Amino acid sequence: MAAEASASRAARLWQEAVRMLRVDGPLPARLVADAAALLTLFSLILGLWDSGVAVALYSLVLLGQTVVRLAPLRATVQAGTAIILLAAAWAALLDAYQLIPWLDLAMHVVATGLLAAIGAAALLGGGWLQTGPAATRAVRAGQTLLTAGLGALLAVLWELGEWFGHTLLDPAIQVGYEDTVGDLAAGVLGALLAGLLLDRLVKDGP
């Protein structure tokens, strides 16, 4: 009986986890999000035979995709963010940022903006912010500034992560004054745009 009860609890916990991590929305968005998750897992496994940097990077991507699935974002935004996070990791490990100079700044704009939207969406889900048609102009301005602030914090943490990786893991990770300032500016710009578009990124309430 005890074994059966334990198995039943485990099954319920598994079903609840699947429900929470499920992307609800159009079938194409669900398929893209699931494909990104599977590709991230596959990349992480391959990274075990590559380097510690690859393992750390894909682990962060997998964590980010989990958070994306929990955030109250539209399914298309969830799928797009999952792809962007994975693409950013692939680009770093394939040295694409060195081959395509503008790609680094573009990725900082898009990725930081989407991650800032996730933070703002979490606050919205907790009732800390108001959005939608009922939101006043002052509320919208506040949520835009908050999203931009969250993005600025994420941009700083991103650059600290790059410095940490360059110093302790792999000197090939690109750092430098101009690179850092450009990345910070791109991240804040992306977060500001995400704040202005927040109503279109966050899923409608029940």
Instruction: Report pLDDT digits (tens) over 11-67.
Output: 666 566 667 778 888 899 999 999 999 999 999 998 888 887 888 889 999 999 998
Contact assessment for residue 43 and residue 83, using Cβ atoms and an 8 Å cutoff = no
Across the chain, mean pLDDT equals 83
Using CA atoms, how far apart are residues 11 and 3, in angstroms rounded to an integer?
12
User: Nearest-CA neighbor of 25 among 76, 62, 68?
Assistant: 76
SS3 192: helix
For residue 17, what are the CA distances in angstroms to 14, 21, 196? 5, 6, 32
Span 51-107, pLDDT tens digits: 878 888 899 999 999 988 888 888 999 999 999 999 999 998 888 988 898 999 999
Using CA atoms, how far apart are residues 123 and 151, in angstroms rounded to an integer?
14
pTM: 0.81
Between the two ends of the chain, the Cα-to-Cα distance in Å is 39
